[in-house]
Structure 1
Amino acid sequence: MGILTLSQPLLRGVMQRLRKIVARYKHLPLFLATITILVVPACHSDTSQLKQNQTYLATTRIVNHALGEVEIPVSPHRVVVLHDHLLACVMELGFKPIGSTYNVYGEDNQYFRGIPSEWTDSIAKVGVNDQPSLEAVLDLAPDLILGRDLGNSVNEMYYKQLSAIAPTVIVKDSEGYLSQSKYIAEILGRSDIAEKLQIEYEDRIQNLRQQLAENLSNITISVISSVGGGNFVTFSANDIYDQIFNEIGLRRPPIQQNQKEIRLVHSIETLHEHDADVVFVRNFGESPDKFLSFLKQPLVLQLRAAQNNRVYEVHWLGGNYLVANRIIDDLYKYLVHKD
């Protein structure tokens, strides 16, 4: 095919027509630029809105709890806890709530049982355990509330009121105390920390079992709680220290091992039924002088454990890894090292 050539007159005609087209549409570049400015942000706005909607959907999830299902934040930041035992479970995960209920106990009015005081600095008090001040909770503007399963009609009443403030999870009283800690870790999105705590706990149990191996069949452990007035209390075999004893292989006196009631108050005259090679006496906040007066009662001094200087004061209160490690520390101290 040959190259197309144009005569001079024809070429001039084409050029004139092109100049007319350009003159007619001289604002076309500006028009196209304007359309671009208007359309592109609009598209970007729609895309941003879609992303925001997707983000919103991804920031909540449905969880099961004692009263059914509830939608909660994936990553809660402002948490209020309605029992100090749950508070310990939360804080051992490295999470500091903005508020918690408390339980005044002992002669020095300790508020959060079994929790180091430095941990609870700046945590607002929102009423006593299981009886929160709704106004105080509302003032904190939480994005999640953790409550304890009371096992009665009060649950539903409080749940409705609390749910009007923020998503509320009622934590079941599980068979294993450490299972409760794992559940709370799932709610707070910190299961990795709970898994690490569980591994450390299992390692400590295994090491302690190995060190006590030769003595496990020859030793009995009794646990009583001083409550003043010459009486003492025992708890059912489902308490956290019983779970630890069972995992290690430690035995308790039959009267304690077979106890079905959650809590029993005993007269000091029956103390001999709770004698063992080692007796741990839990102090529920009594002053040192008052607690010592309990230990110096004649019926206490007559115990076989007392005559062998193996009655020990302990502070085992709560049900979480913090308390579990405290119990293991004491078992090392008094059974392995025998301080």
Structure 2
Amino acid sequence: MRIKRPVKVFLLGMVAIVLLWVIHSYHFQNQQFQTDRASTYSELPVAATKVVKHAFGEVTIPVKPQRIIVLNDISLLDPVLSLGIKPIGTVSYLPQYDFLFRGVTNAEAAGIEIVGIGNQPILEKVLLLKPDVILMREYQRSLYQQLSAIAPTVVIDLPSLNYSFKENLRFIAQVLGETEKAEQVIAQYYERVKQLQQLMGERLKKIEVSVINVFTDGIIATYSDNETYNQVLQDIGIPLIPALAKQKETSLFLNIEVLNKYDADILFVMSESKNAALSFSQNPLLSTLKAAKNHRVYTVQQDRWWTYGFLGVNKLLDDLFKYLT
């Protein structure tokens, strides 16, 4: 059946109207979608950033970085963990020692990827973790350009902080946006110091303490008053023996024949290994010391006393509560 021409024209007109309505509706909806999408994106929070001044200049980092890699155990991993922040990656200590980290137990570092050994990161591992900030030490300067190409990198310069474990924490806290938490950690430390002072009472003014590190082959080492354990002893009010109080060198390696210069009421001995500690305990020179005669020679763990962070410092304080009270 043939459609009459007027009807055909009418039907074509209707089709054209419908097509125009569909096209108009599509353009309107698409325009509305684009407007809504732009509005949505404008409402999404833009990652806030800040500029941090550090040893090698300035760098822009997130205000609250979430994926942090630290390239030192003693002065970076410990302080960051002390702030209640768990990094995604770190380096372990030297493999010849009996511990992975100084100041930090394996349990406290659980879940953190090890990206290198002995403060030497493997750059490929660092890259794969996609950090949003990297913390490194000033002596690792040869890696700075490569690390900066991976993520914003902040250099923590302990010499400029006078080797103070408290100022080290404050600087790291400023970088990570946790200054209030840092002051809480420091206040808790001083509270423990006060408790120890009260328990010791007048004995604080009457005893002298000496700390040495013993190695194999009859070598001992002493460290200047800016070593963390010496800072803690001074905060408590326990005087160091004159030989340590006057030491100018950061570290001094000596033959064990001069051991008597480091005698004190209480002698704390750190060792690089169990064999070194055993050898020292059997040395006849030890028995001539006042501390040995009074049974006040204590062997302490190097990974608890050799620290620049508050996890380690609190373990050190645990030992002082044990041996001094």
Partner of 2:300: 314
1:201 aligns with 2:189: yes
> 1:209, CA displacement in angstroms?
1.8
Partner of 1:146: 135
Aligned residues: 302
Moved more, 80-89 or 304-313: 80-89
CA distance in 2, matches of 1:67, 1:276: 43
Moved more, 124-133 or 158-167: 124-133
What RMSD over aligned residues (CA atoms) do the two structures have, in Å?
Answer: 2.6
Partner of 1:10: none
Moved more, 40-49 or 252-261: 40-49
TM-score (norm 1): 0.81
Selected match of 2:77 from 84, 87, 90:
87
What letter corresponds to residue 88 of structure 1 in structure 2? D
Residue aligned with 1:118, SS: coil
Q: Which runs of 5+ in 2 are unaligned?
A: 1-20
Selected match of 1:293 from 275, 279, 282:
279
CA distance in 1, matches of 2:94, 2:231: 27
Moved more, 97-106 or 176-185: 97-106
> 1:71, CA displacement in angstroms?
0.8
> 1:83, CA displacement in angstroms?
0.9
What letter corresponds to residue 299 of structure 2 in structure 1? E
Partner of 2:36: 44
- % identity of equivalent residues: 38
Partner of 2:154: 169
1:230 aligns with 2:218: yes
CA distance in 2, matches of 1:76, 1:146: 11
CA distance in 2, matches of 1:279, 1:106: 26
Q: Which runs of 5+ in 1 are unaligned?
A: 1-28
What letter corresponds to residue 46 of structure 1 in structure 2? A
For CA contacts below 8 A with separation 6 or more, give which structure has more relative contact order. 2
Selected match of 2:259 from 264, 271, 286:
271
CA change 1:310–1:105 in 2 (3 A) is: farther
> 1:158, CA displacement in angstroms?
1.5
> 1:117, CA displacement in angstroms?
1.3
Selected match of 2:55 from 38, 62, 66:
66
> 1:292, CA displacement in angstroms?
2.4
The answer to whether the 8 Å contact 1:82/1:129 transfers is no
TM-score (norm 2): 0.84
Residue aligned with 1:117, SS: coil
> 1:208, CA displacement in angstroms?
1.6
Moved more, 63-72 or 113-122: 113-122
The answer to whether the 8 Å contact 2:213/2:221 transfers is yes
Moved more, 94-103 or 218-227: 94-103
CA distance in 1, matches of 2:100, 2:60: 31
Partner of 1:327: 316
- Runs of 4 or more above 6 Å deviation: 29-36
Partner of 2:236: 248
CA change 1:269–1:105 in 2 (3 A) is: farther
